[in-house]
């Protein structure tokens, strides 16, 4: 198998793997999102209220950052998939041309 064919098959596998990883991360995030939101104060004192407010603010920031990461990973998977889709016909054509010469 030529280098180009190997490289193409590895790119196709990487796209598939990345899409699967993105789906798994999204599922885990969805499962973990609810328990991290809306932390109630443990007691009626000021320290508990401030701590709960701090945890809720941190959780909101985490969800905002994660939302951006999900978008970035999705864009990466789409661009890589589009690149493979565009390059695959050229690689296959080049391999077809090279086959008779190698024989």
pLDDT exceeds cutoff 80 at 33? no
* pLDDT tens-digit readout, 59-103: 989 888 888 888 898 898 899 889 888 888 888 888 788 776 555
pLDDT given at position 85: 86
pLDDT given at position 2: 66
* pLDDT tens-digit readout, 45-65: 999 999 999 999 999 898 888
51-74 burial, b at 16+ Cβ within 10 Å, e below that, comes to ebeebeeebeeeeeeeeeeeeebe
Give the Cβ contact number of residue 89 at 10 Å.
9
Listed in order, strand segments (DSSP E) in 1-103 are none
CA separation for the pair 75, 81 (Å, rounded): 10
pLDDT given at position 56: 92
For residue 27, what are its two tokens? 């599922």
pLDDT given at position 92: 80
Q: Which of 66, 59, 79 lies closest to 15 in space, CA to CA?
A: 79
CATH code 1.10.287 for 3-102: yes
Torsion of CA 61, 64, 68, 74, to 10 degrees: 130
């Amino acid at each position: 198998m030529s280098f180009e064919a190997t490289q193409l098959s590895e790119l196709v596998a990487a796209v598939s793997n990345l899409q699967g990883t993105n789906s798994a991360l999204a599922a885990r995030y969805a499962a973990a999102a609810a328990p991290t939101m809306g932390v109630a104060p443990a007691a009626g004192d000021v320290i508990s209220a401030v701590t709960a407010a701090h945890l809720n603010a941190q959780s909101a920031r985490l969800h905002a950052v994660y939302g951006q990461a999900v978008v970035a990973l999705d864009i990466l998977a789409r661009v890589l998939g589009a690149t493979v889709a565009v390059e695959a016909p050229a690689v296959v054509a080049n391999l077809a041309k090279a086959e008779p010469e190698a024989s």
